[in-house]
Amino acid sequence: MAPCLLGRVATVYFAVGSRSLQKASRSAASSKRFDGLRAMLVTDDATARKLRLQAEHPFDIVAVDAGASHAAEFEATRPVADRSSLSTAERWRNRRDPANLALRRLRAAKIRAVATALQHFDVALLMDADTYVCSSLLEAACAVSEGPVVAFVPVDRGREHAASVLARSERWRVPGHAVEANTGVVAWRNATASRALVDAWLRAYGDLADASGF
């Protein structure tokens, strides 16, 4: 381990359903090749049951989010509304669409996965299931060993996902020049400020999802 790292460090994945689990397993295995970091999976009860049937897997800790079956719920719905005259964006903004509601619950569960990880580790590297690790992750972990409690790669200007929604939000008042995080890989240090940020993220996501339909 690098000298800057004090405590427990792990890669953390939120994955539900067979395809997402397969991707996360591949990513977790790739991360262990370089640093031997522990790997944690946060999932739903249905996916956890599938994982228990496997002879082996790369996860050192498996945590179940509220015992729900998010994957089954999402896969049982139509991804978009039936009216072909609507654009894809308009279909996804249909707040009554059961797929949209299921997707919102999935996204909120991914945010909660950070809080779950911080109950177990001093530094949690939240990774998208479709990431693949090609080199050491210790530099990313060192970025939050002192000072900042969160480190991320910013989204390129003009490619933000939520800039227009945030600009319309009177409650959150995020300035237009604020940097949006690419949440595919985010390093979190277990600290009061980071746990407070997760709580604020959940509240903001709920508010903004209600306002935008996403």
The residues that bridge with 14 in the sheet, in sequence order, are 42
Q: What is residue 63's DSSP assignment?
A: E
Can you read off the two tokens belonging to residue 177? 């020049």
Q: Where are the beta strands (DSSP E) in the chain?
A: 9-14, 38-43, 61-64, 123-127, 150-154, 181-189
Q: By the 8 A CB rule, do 169 and 214 touch? A: no
Interior/surface letters 22-57, b for 16+ CB within 10 angstroms, e for the rest: ebbbebbebbeeebebbbbbbbbbbbbeebeeeeeb
- C-alpha 46/C-alpha 166 separation (Å) is 34
pLDDT at 9: 92
Q: Under 8 Å CB-to-CB from 24, ≥6 apart: which residues?
A: 13, 15, 41, 127, 129
How far, in Å, CA of 125 to CA of 139, rounded? 11
* pLDDT at residue number 7: 72
Sequential pLDDT tens for the chain (214 residues):
445 655 789 999 999 888 899 999 999 999 999 888 899 999 988 889 889 888 899 999 999 986 556 666 655 555 544 554 655 556 556 666 666 777 778 888 899 999 999 999 999 999 999 999 999 998 889 999 888 999 998 887 666 666 667 777 777 777 777 788 888 999 999 999 999 999 999 988 887 776 665 5
